[in-house]
A and B are shown apart, each in its own frame.
Chain A
Amino acid sequence: MRVGFQEELEQLDAALHEEGTLVLRSLRGALNALVDQDAELADEVIAFDDEVDRRYVAIEEGIESLLARQTPVAGDLRFVLAVLHVNLHLERIADYCVTIAKLVKLAPPVAPERLFVDAFQEMGARAEEMIRVALDSFATRNAEQAETLVQLDELIDRANRRFVQHVLSFGRDPTLQEWGLRMLLVSRCFERIGDHAVDIGERTAYVATGEFREFTDASH
């Protein structure tokens, strides 16, 4: 039994989970900044990204060192390779949160209709749920649970499409148009976060089964 090696793998698992928790905080902050139009909170979310980046780099360096010293194979190798990917997906999700925060600051001050607030709330909540499911299924190596992310992603995609329709119904008011344009990008960020969560799910299935396959084709 390679006790030290096992501990390192567990630490890697724990570090990834911690990074996931930070990403969820970032998302929650971005969503609140968006709904409340809170520029100060948006700034905090932007600054907080350094924290996520530090974890990201630490995990990557940990993997580099682990590969060099411990030569993991079989299930351990699959796990380490999957962590490498999941780490990157989480970092990207955090980047989308930063983009949302920046768009909050860039958008002209328009008091959004209830419809839009609800849409943001819905997409944000779905994105949060997807990240949770992705992290939980990865932690428990549950390929079946990971595959449910496909259905959850479809819900976010639909919300995104609906959002586009709402924005297209705007009139010719330039301020409203600019706001709409910025918010389309926000909506797109939520949609991309969902895609990254699905990608994490695919890595979970790879760790569990040894086969990598995309849950859906490239259309998602």
Chain B
Amino acid sequence: MSEMEAAVAEKKTALDVAPRTADVPRDVVFDVRDLTVRYGGNPALAGVSLEIHEHAVTAFIGPSGCGKSTFIRCFNRMNDLIPGAAVEGSVLYRGQDLYGRDVDPVTVRQLIGMVFQKPNPFPKSIYDNVAFGPRVLGWKRGLDERVERALRQAALWDEVKDRLKESALSLSGGQQQRLCIARALAVEPEVILMDEPASALDPISTARIEDLMAELKRDYTIVIVTHNMQQAARVADMTAFFSVDVSSGGRTGVLVEYDRTEAIFTKPRDRRTEDYVTGRFG
């Protein structure tokens, strides 16, 4: 390639990153293809295809029963733990089928951590909560540094550095949730899944978790389920709207629209999205 061609190619690359999508990195972490999840034969979610991008916050929104929590659980095989659950289609994680035969669900859950709605620290010390994962993995060297790093990343270090031996249950709800995030970070995941991470928290703790997401996406890929549409609007780069399809007699979750968050909240393409985000739903 001549210098000129190289310069042109470089310029083209620069132009490819159009301003509209500059804030949404395009590297695909998850590639979901025609995913259907059944519980005891009934589809809870059907025919979902989408891509999750690296270093982005992706939010799933939708009414109760739309399958958004079912969907997020597919990303680290949490549905495996539910009897009668069956997954069809594929979830590719960096090109590899998460549901492939030789894939160990425990490794999956280390790479793809999860934070739940209600903070669920172990009834142990703050330190032990964070050290638990690394210890299980046999990562004994530099444990103190690892715990500190995880607590710093979760914006909790300054509040707990002098009381690491105290019970995690002595922390406030918001602090407990950040501890759970630190616990997830301590095993060096690539992705953090958050299922309603702030719904049990007060507005100030919620704001801290939201700020944290903005910080964490530099190093991690974040996927969040939220009931709070404004939260999705505030934190997410991409938003997927799920709805409930009742046409086949049952209640099946379907993906209605997936786009940049700004587009979802300013000019959604689908009437159902418009009705939901503007509060006309139901």
Contact = CB atoms under 8 A, between A and B. Distances in A.
Interface of A: 1-2, 5-6, 71-78, 210-211
Given A5-B279, A74-B274, 15 more contacts: A1-B282, A2-B280, A6-B280, A72-B278, A74-B264, A74-B265, A74-B266, A74-B267, A74-B268, A75-B278, A77-B266, A78-B266, A78-B267, A210-B266, A211-B267
A77 B230 CA distance: 13
B230 A71 contact: yes
A77 B279 contact: no
Contact of B277 (A1, A6, A73, A210): A73
A71 B233 CA distance: 11
Contacts, number: 36
Given A210-B266, A210-B267, A75 B274 contact: yes
B274 A77 contact: no
Contacts of B230: 71
Q: Which 7 A-B pairs have the closest CB atoms?
A: A210-B267, A2-B279, A73-B265, A76-B278, A73-B277, A74-B274, A74-B277
Contacts of A71: 230
B214 interface: no
A73 B230 CA distance: 9
Contacts of B282: 1
Chain B residues touching A, majority SS: helix
Contacts of A73: 229, 233, 265-266, 277-278
A76 B279 CA distance: 10
A210 B281 CA distance: 20
A73 B262 CA distance: 10
Residue of A73, A75, A77 ringed by the most chain B CB atoms within 10 A: A73
Contacts of A5: 279
The range of chain B's interface size is 10 to 19
Interface of B: 229-230, 233, 264-268, 273-274, 277-282
Nearest to B271: A75
A124 B191 CA distance: 65
Nearest to A77: B266
B19 to A, nearest CB: 16
A153 B261 CA distance: 38
A51 to B, nearest CB: 33
A76 B268 CA distance: 11
Contacts of A72: 278
A185 to B, nearest CB: 40
A175 B151 CA distance: 84
23 contacts: A1-B279, A1-B280, A2-B278, A2-B279, A2-B280, A5-B279, A6-B280, A71-B230, A73-B229, A73-B265, A73-B266, A73-B277, A73-B278, A74-B264, A74-B268, A74-B273, A74-B274, A74-B277, A74-B278, A75-B274, A76-B278, A77-B266, A78-B267
A5 B278 CA distance: 10
Nearest to A1: B280
A76 B281 CA distance: 14
A197 B266 CA distance: 25
B276 to A, nearest CB: 9
Contacts of B280: 1-2, 6
A75 B267 CA distance: 7
Contacts of A75: 274, 278
Contacts of A74: 264-268, 273-274, 277-278
A39 B264 CA distance: 54
A77 B268 CA distance: 12
B278 to A, nearest CB: 5
A39 B216 CA distance: 69
